Amino acid sequence: MRYHKVPDETIRRLPVYLRGLCSFPNDGSRSISSQQLAEVLHVKSPQVRKDLSYFGDIGTPGVGYDIQKLKKHIRTILRLNNTHCAALIGYGNLGAALLKYTGFKTFCVEISAVFEINPRKIGRVVQKIKIEDVSNISSLRKRGISVAILAIPALESQDVTDKLIDAGVGGILNFTPSYLSAPTNVKVVNIDIGVSLACLPYYLPVGA
Amino acid sequence: MRYHKVPDETIRRLPVYLRGLCSFPNDGSRSISSQQLAEVLHVKSPQVRKDLSYFGDIGTPGVGYDIQKLKKHIRTILRLNNTHCAALIGYGNLGAALLKYTGFKTFCVEISAVFEINPRKIGRVVQKIKIEDVSNISSLRKRGISVAILAIPALESQDVTDKLIDAGVGGILNFTPSYLSAPTNVKVVNIDIGVSLACLPYYLPVGA
DNA sequence: GGATGTGAATCCATTCACAGCA
DNA sequence: TGCTGTGAATGGATTCACATCC
C-alpha cells in the first residue's frame, strides 16, 4: 500500500480489535473475516479493513485474516510484543484502583513503579511495589520505563509532567483534569472522568 | 442562529469551558473573550465561538462573554443547574475510587446510590451510602436517578445495562471494556482505560 | 476599535463500491 | 464465489475570514 498517515483513531481501534480477537475461540476456524470481527465489536467492516490496510496486506482475499497472525501483527504495530513497564504517579484513591486494575494484562502493560509526594505513603509496599518519592522519577530512563500514568491532583500535574519528560517518558496517560504541555514527541492521552460524566444529563429526555 | 444539529464534540467541550470559567478569578473583569478562554484551555478561539453560537447569541460583540452569565448558560444547556444524582454500579477497586472522586462536584453531579452483586458487600455503608443489591436497580426510576456509572466486570455488563434501561436510566458512563447495546434514547459514554494505555507504546520513539 | 457570530473553505475520517486476487 | 484492499464519495468537524454589532 502507498504511504498514508495513520489516523490516531485507527491506532485507538487497534487495541479494541486485539481484545476482540483474544476473546475469539482459539480452537475453531483459523480465519476471521472483517465482517465477523466488525460484528462482534460493533463497528463497520470497511472500517476494519481500512484500518488494517494501513499496515500492509495482512489478510487473504476470499478467506479473511488468520487470527493468530493478525493478533501478532497488531501487537507488533502497537509495540506490545514484549511487556511494557509503566510508572504510576499518585497513589490516592484512583491510583490505588489503577494499580489493581486487571485490564492492562491483555495488552502486556504492567505497572512496575509507583511514585508519591505524600511522605507518609513513600516507602510503603503495595502490590509488591515500594512507593517512591517523586524525585526518583529521574531514574525512569535508566530503568527503561517510558510510559507513565498520572493520577495526582491537578495543581501538581504540570510539574510532575515536566519531570517525566526530563526522565525520557514518551507517553502519558493523564487522569488529571488539566491540559498538559508537552513536546510533540511525547504523546499525552487524556481521560477526563468528570467531563465524561458531565455530558450525560444533556442527553436525558426533557423532564427527567 | 438558524437551526444546526449540535455536534457531540461540542457538548463534550462545554464542561471543559465550564471548568475553565470556574477557575477564573471571579473578582476582576466581568467579561472574558473567546481568545482568553481559548488560551487557558488550549483550544482555538473560533472553536469556542462556534461551540457557543449553537445556543444563541450569548456574547456581546466588541466585549466578550459575561463570565457569570456564561457559566449559568452552559449549566443550563448541560442541565447541570440542579444537582444530578447518579448511581454507581460496582463497588470494586475502581468503584470505590469513583465514589471518593472529587472531580464531579464542579459539575453538580453526586453519587447517591451504590449497587453490588457480591452479597458480602451488600448492606455495608460507605461514604454514608448503603450498598444495595443490583436487583434494587429497578427502584431508580421512582428515586429520580437517571444517570449511572458502570464499574463492574465485563461479563455482567450487558445484564446490568438492561436493568438500568428498564429502570429508566438515560445516561451511562461505562468503564467496562464491553460494547453496551442500548436504545438510541439512552446515551452511553465509554471510558476504556486499558485501550487508552495500550495506545501509548505505539507513539514511543523506536528503540525505546 | 474590538470582539462576536457565521457562511465558506478546509481538513480529516468514515463509508461506499468495486477491481483484483485466492 | 468470497473477501480483501483501496480510490472515490460522503459526511462531520474545525478553521478561516469577514460582515455585523457594541
What single string gives the DSSP state of each residue in B73-92? Answer: HHHHHHT-SSPEEEEEE--S
Nearest chain B residue to A40 by CA distance is B179
Least confident among B16-20, B23-27, B121-125:
B23-27
SS3 A188: strand
Q: Does B2 have pLDDT greater than 80?
A: no
pLDDT at B36: 96
Q: Check: CATH 1.10.10.10 for A8-78?
A: yes
The residues spanned by each domain of chain B are: 8-77, 84-196
What residues in A contact B204, CB-CB < 8 Å? Answer: 79, 146-147, 170-171, 187
pLDDT band, residue B27 (cuts 50/70/90): low
Measured CA to CA, the distance from residue A169 to residue B203 in angstroms comes to 11
Least confident among A1-5, A12-16, B158-162:
A1-5
Q: Does B155 have pLDDT greater than 80?
A: yes
pLDDT at B23: 87
Whole-Å CA distances, B124 to A90, B121, B143, B148: 27, 6, 20, 20
What's the average model confidence in pLDDT over B104-122? Answer: 97
Nucleic strand C near CB of residue B65 (< 7 Å)? yes
Question: From the CA of A121, how many Å to the nearest CA of chain B?
Answer: 17
Say whether B15 and A194 touch across the interface (CB within 8 A): yes
Multiple choice CATH, B84-196, 3.40.190.80, 3.40.630.30, 3.40.50.720, 3.40.50.740: 3.40.50.720
What's the average model confidence in pLDDT over B101-111? Answer: 97
pLDDT at B207: 67
Whole-Å CA distances, B15 to A149, A200, B12, B79: 23, 11, 6, 11
**pTM to 2 decimals?**
0.96
pLDDT band, residue B24 (cuts 50/70/90): confident
* Window 79-98 of chain A: CB closer than 7 A to strand C: none
Say whether B200 and A177 touch across the interface (CB within 8 A): no
* Window 16-45 of chain B: CB closer than 7 A to strand C: 33-35, 45
**Counting beta carbons within 10 angstroms of the beta carbon of residue B151, is it exposed (0 to 12), middle (13 to 18) or buried (19 or more)?**
buried
- Specify the fold of B8-77: Arc Repressor Mutant, subunit A (1.10.10)
What's the average model confidence in pLDDT over B42-66? Answer: 97
**% of chain B exceeding 90 in pLDDT:** 92
What residues form DSSP beta bridges with B130? B125
